[in-house]
Amino acid sequence: MNIRLAAVAVALAGTALAGTAGATVYPASPVPIALGATAYTQNFDTLASTGATGSVLPAGWQVSENGSNANQTYAVGIGSANGGNVYSFGAAGSTERALGSVTSGNLQPAYYGALFTNALGSVLDSLTVSYTGEQWRRGDTPRQADGLAFQYRLAAGSLDTGSWTTVDDLAFVSPSTSTTVGALNGNDVANRIAITATIANLGIAAGSTFAFRWVDLDATGADDGLAIDDVSVLAAPVSAVPEPASWALMLTGFGLAGAALRRRRAVVAFA
């Protein structure tokens, strides 16, 4: 197991992968994103970038918070705050944002993700998910295991209900080796990681819904400020299997081609 998977495994140890009852969820019923043959992308630059808080999320996205700090808003921050919350992270006043969180005893777990509808017009076989994990705060020293887990669910209507499947290859673990507690620039190369993986054999019927979410749990000690940015989701249909009649025509064609080649060779040999 590599360091990324090991760290997230530590964070998830003893934690159920189902939804959490009594969560504060917003918006309550987002309209799922219609995912067709074109990749869906999201850079979160429509999140609030000024003021103390915001509540507007990209269409199809949802946040679920748990604990006494849970509310229906996210904080706008640069990584300097250590209070448990979901955050719109970015440089002060910049519209270049990332969606993330700092968890604590007063807020955990935090979920954020999106709901989709299969708009391929056929069965969806696989999803290729790519995103950039960013660290905007170093919460504790010495370095601790902290990260975000990635999960998906078929026939999902909300981020806080049902059982979810974890995809280890899409986990994000804090990359910073800084020894100083405080804000980081999540756009610096040292504080961000590009992550991608394909989830195969899903068998999602045309028109059916599915969702994915990132999970931030309360780690031991003070938590890091972690975020996601530049999300991309590409759907692929089930590959078409030729009908028996098509196979027969193909085999007949191969046979005729082979016979013609043999005749041509014979003519050349006796010319």
Give the tens place of pLDDT for each residue, 8-59. 544 444 344 455 556 899 999 999 999 999 999 999 999 999 999 999 999 9
Residue 232 belongs to some domain of the structure? no
Task: Give the pair of three-digit tokens for residue 150.
Answer: 């990635």
Q: Where are the beta strands (DSSP E) in 23-181?
A: 24-26, 33-35, 40-42, 53-54, 61-65, 74-77, 85-89, 98-102, 110-118, 124-138, 147-154, 165-166, 172-173
Same domain, 20 and 145: yes
Q: Do 92 and 159 share a domain, yes or no?
A: yes
In a domain, 120, yes or no: no
Q: Domain limits at 270?
A: 243-271
Question: Per the structure block, which two tokens stand in for 88?
Answer: 């719109």
Quote the tokens at residue 235.
Answer: 């759907």
Which of residues 83 and 12 earns the better pLDDT score? 83
97 and 142 share one domain: yes
Task: For residues 86 and 203, give the distance between their C-alpha atoms in angstroms, rounded to a whole number.
Answer: 33
In a domain, 76, yes or no: yes
Residue 99 within a domain: yes
Which pTM was predicted? Answer: 0.84
Report residue 120 as tokens.
């391929």
159 and 265 in one domain? no
Which pLDDT belongs to residue 5? 46
Does 139 lie in the same domain as 98? yes
Residues 220 and 270 in one domain: no
Token reading at 212: 């994915």
Summarised one tens digit per residue, pLDDT across range 150-176 is 999 999 999 999 999 999 999 999 999
Confirm whether 196 is domain-assigned: no
Domain membership of residue 238 (yes or no) is no
Judge whether residue 2 has pLDDT over 90. no
Query: Structurally, how many domains does the chain consist of?
Result: 2
